[in-house]
Chains A and B, each alone.
Chain A
Amino acid sequence: MYIIGELINGMYANIGKAINQKDKKEIQKCALEQIESGADALDVNCGPASKDAVNDIQWLVETIQEVTDKPLALDSSKPKVIESGLKVAKNKTLINSTTSDPEKLAILVPLAKQYNAKLIGITINAKGIPQNKDQRLEMAANIVAACLDHGFPAEDLYLDPIVMPVNVAQAQMRDILESIRDFKIISDPAPKTVVGLSNVSQGTLVRPLVNRTFLVMAAAYGLDAAILDPKDKDLMDAAITSDLILNKHIYCDSFLTAYRKK
């Protein structure tokens, strides 16, 4: 499982404050803690408090790059903010994210290609959130088609079926899981899949349990990547064990330690 750490996000009080005060240490600490916990990449989001996201994202990217060369997922709904981050990124990058709206795809797919970035495509559009598997597949197919039209390789695309809170959309959970599996047959080579995990547990009282149960089930449906809190050790242990059961790494008695050494 490719783990994208979600903690560098201005919506968290410590990060929002660090962005406003340009406190590099706090950001770098958060970056390194996530990596030590097993993150393969770091999400970078200025959050709602940022008044100047175009500049703030550059400061965040440069600050993080001082301490790690792990890939960065530039997270914004505004293509201008993402492009601003791409301009200063030396590390590998992911664009987080495009929707299936043609006007978004027309900007972000060429941008991903130009900067050699991977691309996260969320199966939503201006009309809203999909209500069933067919709508998800249709939007996913639109995103894949736009990528192929622009010569962007499908295997660098991460499709996100958009995970809903279990207490809001319980009836959709099975559709979401099946979408993860079915996205793979849209193209050959297949696109990859990703979820923003913590959404699934919004508003529940046992968030860690809901998160890790969903993650393990999604892994069984072939999920490639997840945006999550890598400092949740039980969650990471569950992700590592899922990979083990799927024969993605070789068993040894200390397999949890071994994975974190990789």
Chain B
Amino acid sequence: MATEVMVEKWSGEVSVVSIGATKAEGGTRSSVIKVGGQKALPYLFEEGQLPYRPVIAYEVWDISPQDWPQELISAYGAVLKDPLAWAQECVNKYKAELLCLRLQGAHPESGNKSPQQAAEFVSQLLKKVSVPLIITGCGDDAKDNAVLPACCEAAKGERILVGSAVQDNYKTLAAAALADGHNIIAESPIDINIAKQLNILISDMGLALERIVINPTIGALGYGLEYAYSIMERARLAALAGDKTVASPFICFVGQEAWRAKEAKTLAKEMPNWGPEKERGIAWEAITSSALIQAGADILVMRHPLAIEKVQKYIGQLMEG
């Protein structure tokens, strides 16, 4: 007897967020990235449409990265010393379709760039590359509240994705995103209740739920990946059942988490039986990403070009159904 496949019927869907604006839409980007829109759990094509594939954003910084492991640094080489050239290399050499700029240089301990300097960097980057942009702050709330609005203004009309808003600090960024026509990243600490609350707080300020991307906060493989997975699954189940307040696409900062793992960065000479670090870090980043794709990740912010290549291939296979 043939096995009957149980097909679930869903009434809700994930909202579609568009990143980047072309000339026709008032921006200067060469393309628009759309994410979300799922009407079923990840890759259950029988149950509903999954109109947009997960996208990978190359993580770039406004300064030369200081704490990256040797393998990552050698993957890019000397170009890391020139952030604009680094971003261009991601687009031209590796065919990045989306960049995620981290304004680390604004951090008080990493150069303490002024809002004007950060905004100027964004303006230059927008001239050098034409792909849509994600821009994140340096992680220092007070500084980000000064820097990110300036960068939002510099990117006015480009419909960037900017982050991160958190429960205790969302008003300044939400107001800036609203004023300059951008999307926002709402970050919660692996907590579905806070994720939902933050989406409501932001939408109460007038920024539509359709302009929010949730950063659920993830851990790398071996570092809490499964907690992120279950939060994402719970949100997605609620979204598909019709709860619009958690029906946002997910962004997962995989690169920064995967490359913090000791398994990714410890040198082979320190741990001979772990095998060559050249393969380990790439595998750690690629495996973390592919697991999160199964949880429903829409945007993966990644670092190593070879890990990205592997995950792109995996996405291609998944989307074939």
Contacts and interface: CB of A to CB of B under 8 A. Distances in A.
A252 B244 contact: no
Interface string B182-197: 0000000000111011
Contact of A257 (B200, B238, B242, B244): B200
A262 B242 CA distance: 7
A21 interface: no
A254 interface: yes
B48 to A, nearest CB: 19
Interface string A238-262: 0000000000011111100110011
Interface residues of A, number: 10
**Nearest 7 pairs of A and B residues by beta carbon:** A252-B196, A252-B197, A258-B245, A254-B200, A252-B193, A253-B197, A251-B193
A257 B209 CA distance: 14
A251 B197 CA distance: 9
Contacts of A257: 200, 204
Contacts, number: 38
B234 interface: yes
Given A250-B196, A252-B200, 16 more contacts: A249-B243, A250-B193, A250-B235, A250-B238, A252-B193, A252-B194, A253-B193, A254-B197, A254-B200, A258-B200, A258-B243, A261-B203, A261-B209, A261-B245, A262-B242, A262-B245
Interface of A: 249-254, 257-258, 261-262
Interface residues of B, number: 18
Contacts of B193: 250-253
Interface in B236-292: 238, 242-246
Contacts of A261: 200, 203, 209, 244-245
From B204, B238, B243, B245, name the one whose CB has the most chain A CB atoms within 10 angstroms.
Answer: B245
17 contacts: A250-B196, A250-B238, A250-B246, A251-B193, A251-B196, A252-B193, A252-B196, A252-B245, A254-B197, A257-B200, A257-B204, A258-B200, A258-B243, A261-B200, A261-B245, A262-B242, A262-B243
